[in-house]
Amino acid sequence: MFKRFFLALIVFSLFFSANPTKAQETEEGPTYIVQAGDTLWDIASRFNVNLDDLMAANNLEDGNLVVGQEVIIPGLEGVSGVLRTETVPYGDNLRSLQRRTQAPQSVLRKLNRLVSPTELYAGVSLIVPIDTELPTLAAKVSLPQGGTLLEEAVRQNSDIWTLSEINSLNNISIALPGEILYSPADEGTENNANGLPAAFTSATVSSLPLIQGSTAVISVSVSEAVTLSGSLVSDKEYALQFFPEGANSFVALQGVHAMTEPGAYPLKLEATYADGHMDSYEQMVLVTSGGYPNDPLLIVPPETLDASITEDEQNDLIATISVNSPEQLWTGVFTNPSAYEDCFTSRYGSRREYRADDGSLDPYFSFHSGLDFCGGTGLQIDAAANGIVVFAGDTIVRGNATIIDHGRGIFTGYWHQSESYVQVGDRVEAGQVIGLVGATGRVTGAHLHWEVWVNQVQVNPMAWLEQSFP
């Protein structure tokens, strides 16, 4: 009898306890905080409101806006308070977003005109309500089979009403086995309300959205000892290589191919426990254009376009850079390999068309896979970072070439040399002279072509000259 009365009391309390409305109602409508780069037309389009109505509601006579300015959004029924845009992080879904913002899913769908939860790509800009009084969430757990919300509340030293509110549960029956639940965090604790399975404490991808030719840094923290694996698709599927970064923390570096069509691509994580069972998570990640230009037509000797030669050379190169050294040999930002630090004859990513000078072969379409530095024959070439030489020799397309392994799937290539000063197996240091500029291979003049490979993908080398990875 007592048990039935107690359960009835719980259900009665939950039924009459509504989630508090954190945002304040206004007669004019909700307000939006202007972000850098916003225009009135952008805001009107984003919220699907008439531009004239938007200007009238804010008494604006021109389109001038100031970052941080609050703009009234007219005509949004059922939405109130202060709004802003934020980039969807990896691991966020509609349910976790609801819990983090304490906003109903219906409001989130309305603000962003979401038709399906699968549209919540990592890297997409999203409109969310702001509330400075939101609870900080932590201690993510998975409700065990046969477990109840009351039992979980006792374990977390909380109560069922608090857990129900912060997890956006209408009643205790919604807390099903396997349900991801959050508890209130102590003051100063980072908000951890993501939609990842319980094995993953956190997973971040920087910087979102990904750009063609960029280096994706995928950082993962796990709750216990597991084996991590995963994959990222760009032009094809690449298996992620995770390396330890501390206790229960791992990092993987993955290049995004320059020819990847802008759009959404799957990033999958898998955590395998000692007993063999697995937690996995997959989310689409947005890839945007690098804005790469078209280079002028290039006329080259036919042997440098002959597929029977170039494909073998490419396969040999891929085989060389497919052996991952687990040790990180480089430190900090890469050193510029040329004395002409800011002088380039061609940059990474530009689209190219090659034609044989005798017209014997079909045109070849590709992209420029590195940086071409100014400077003629005989100019010194320096190693960009500490590493081990894994290739040094003559090739048809790349000429006299050197490849250095920097560990963790990172390689640099130095093409078209007139002379090479290193051999396979040599350990080199950043800034060490490894050869001289030349005009060997598929070239139209003497220069250094320098590449950076990240897990078998050529990426924009400028990023490695400007920032430290990981």
Which of 88, 111, 130 terminates a domain? The answer is 130
Supply the DSSP string of 188-228, one letter for each residue: TPPP------TTEEEEEEESSSEETT-EEEEEEEESSS-EE
What pLDDT is attached to residue 140?
58
pLDDT in tens, 440-467: 998 889 999 999 999 999 999 999 999 9
339 and 273 in a common domain: no
Three-state DSSP at 304 gives: helix
Domain of 124, CATH number, reads 3.10.350.10
Q: For the ranges 148-157, 173-182, 325-334, 384-393, which has the lowest average pLDDT?
A: 173-182
**End residue of a domain, out of 288, 322, 355:** 288
Choice among 9-18, 47-56, 92-101, 271-280 with the minimum mean pLDDT: 9-18
Q: How confident is the model at residue 432 (pLDDT cuts 50, 70, 90)?
A: very high
Q: Is residue 148 part of a domain?
A: no
Instruction: For residue 227, give its domain range.
Output: 200-288
140 located within any domain: no
Q: Are strands 298-300 and 351-356 parallel, antiparallel or unpaired?
A: parallel
- Mean pLDDT, range 315-340, rounded to an integer: 93
Looking at 76, 104, 130, the residue that finishes a domain is 130
pLDDT value of residue 161: 72
Question: Residue 20: pLDDT band by 50, 70, 90 thresholds?
Answer: very low
**Predicted model pTM:** 0.81
pLDDT at site 135? 61
Residue 357 lies in a domain: yes
Verify that 254 and 313 share a domain, yes or no: no
Pair (422, 305) in one structural domain: yes
Q: For 58-93, how does the pLDDT look when each residue is reduced to its tens digit (9 = 90+)?
A: 999 888 899 999 999 998 888 888 998 989 999 988
Q: Count how many domains the chain has.
A: 3
Residue 185 lies in a domain: no
pLDDT confidence band for 180 (50 / 70 / 90): low
Amino acid of residue 314: Q
Residue of 329, 343, 358, 315 whose CA lies nearest to 429: 329
pLDDT in tens, 91-100: 988 877 877 7
Q: Please indicate, yes or no, if residue 166 is contained in any of the structural domains.
A: no
Between residues 140 and 254, the one the model is more confident about:
254
Using one digit for the tens of pLDDT, what is the confidence trace for 192-241? Answer: 567 788 788 889 998 899 999 999 999 999 988 899 999 999 999 999 99
- Listed residue (96, 99, 198, 100) closest to 147, CA to CA: 198
Assigned token pair, 322: 């497919």
Closest CA to 372 of 416, 334, 403: 416
Give yes or no: residues 237 and 325 share one domain.
no
Query: CATH code at 420?
Result: 2.70.70.10
